[in-house]
A and B are shown apart, each in its own frame.
Chain A
Amino acid sequence: MGPVNIQFRKKEFLSQFYFVANQSLLLILVCVSFAAVVTVLESSFHMKLVIQNDFMVPGFASMMILRELGVIVTALLVVSRVGAGYASEVGSMQVTEQIDALKMLGIGPVQYIVTPRVLACALGTCVLTILANTSCLISALLVSDFYLGYPPSVFLQSMRRFVAPQDFAFAMIKGFLFGLVIPLISCSYGFRCQPGAEGVGSSTTKAVVANSMTIIILDFILSYIFSHFY
């Protein structure tokens, strides 16, 4: 069943990359910034509870953001937007027999549909993670300036004490791997879509659930592995 002669679809890759990275950008930045604001407020609450002082909040919050929050919230939002989108797109292609048509033409559907999406989503999520972390840190900086009274210089100093250079690399690796997993799972559910409107709906739902679950478990595994490298 090998594909006859397919080159890498550069145009499709670029348009998918645009869809993943550019069209979800605003949504993700806004959501992640709100999540960062919540983290700062909550960790200030906890610090006051334990050591009656919240001077460590900036460093603590920036570490929390870089290690977990920025990546996992971004990845879950990519699941809801890109992952669900791919599952319903491939599912409707399956239902309307477009995939059978591709096979008839001697074109391997996996290579034709999945490959550009996987590459685009992996790179796109990696880029989104970097941008999301940046906007997270900026909003955390602003909130600790306005609410907690720590000027940016103090924030950056405290951040420097807590955050290791590896954190940036680990966040990017996590983002890349999450981005790699999302389209694989979504497209596989899309290919196995049952006929009819009900089939498209249920395969999209299953894809979203499987994706979120995989990401939470994968995040745990990666955090555990990375914790040996500090």
Chain B
Amino acid sequence: MIGAALETLGQATLFIYQILKMIFHRKVDRVLIYQQIWHIIEQSWLITLSAGFFVGAIMSVQFTLQMKEFGALGYLGGLATSGTFREVGPLLIAFMLSGRIGAYTSAELGTMKITEQIDALRCLGADPMIEIVAPRFVGIILSSFFLLGIGLVASVAGGSLLAWGFAGVSPEEYLRHIPTLVTGFSIINGLFKCLIFAFVLASVCTFIGYNTGGGAAGVGRSVVNTAVATMVMIVFADWLTTYLANQWIVLQGVG
């Protein structure tokens, strides 16, 4: 079992290396990448915005309960926003996108593989990696990074709206404390997490989708595998980035 896992890992590494090489040698058509970016953003912007909105609202409810105990509702906006930006927001929105973008792309590539469209491309002398996989890879990274960003902005809106209705903290007061508690480092940390999650999302779904086999049931199986593998790797990447960021703080002495 460990041997098989290592084999898959090696294949995935080679797969990603191949794509990255194509990108750096500029073999990928830009128009295809733009098409992918537009396609993905058009499909998922609404769902990302609403997911971000509710994540912000949940965090706001929980922080309100605590801050009330200490009589420090003034800090609510800053704390809830900081918590959402650095940890919960990217994680939950990325989970959401792994269902939306990851499963979708995996199903799309799997269907192409099963219906022999990829073999047909190869017969026509085109490299399916350049024509199909690499544009999706780049498109997913860029667009999901963008989507995670706007999801975080939506989470601020959700948090402030809920604080207004639930705790009676007016939006001005909510927003006023954000700059004092949310440092530039926190924002960079959150965006770095988003970038890593986007990379994980893109590599897992293209790799599993491209290696689909075995009919309609096989497509279903690869979609399930993509969803599971993406979430596990996102949680792991979350821990790794937090750990590295904390080491960085210790080294640099900044907060």
Contact = CB atoms under 8 A, between A and B. Distances in A.
Interface of A: 27, 30-31, 34-35, 37-39, 41-43, 45-46, 48-50, 60, 63-64, 67-69, 72-73, 76-77, 79-81, 84-85, 87-89, 91-92, 95-96, 196-202, 204-205, 208-209, 211-213, 216-217, 219-220, 223-224, 227, 230
Interface stretch (B21-29, B93-101, B119-127, B135-143): B93-101
B195 interface: no
A158 to B, nearest CB: 13
Contact of B47 (A41, A81, A213, A224): A213
A79 B99 contact: yes
Interface in B62-115: 62, 64-66, 75, 78-79, 82-83, 86-88, 91-92, 95-96, 98-100, 103-104, 106-108, 110-111, 114-115
B54 interface: yes
Interface string B211-241: 0000111111101100110111001101100
B242 interface: yes
Contact of A80 (B65, B98, B181, B221): B98
A16 to B, nearest CB: 16
20 contacts: A31-B235, A41-B243, A60-B66, A76-B95, A80-B228, A84-B224, A85-B224, A96-B216, A201-B110, A204-B223, A205-B103, A209-B47, A209-B99, A209-B100, A213-B50, A216-B54, A216-B92, A217-B54, A219-B58, A223-B58
B103 A42 contact: no
A42 B86 contact: yes
Contacts of A69: 88
User: Contact residue range for chain B?
Assistant: 35 or more
B37 interface: no
Given A27-B232, A201-B107, A201-B111, A84 B227 contact: yes
Main secondary structure of the interface of B (DSSP, over half): helix
A224 B215 contact: no
B115 A197 contact: yes
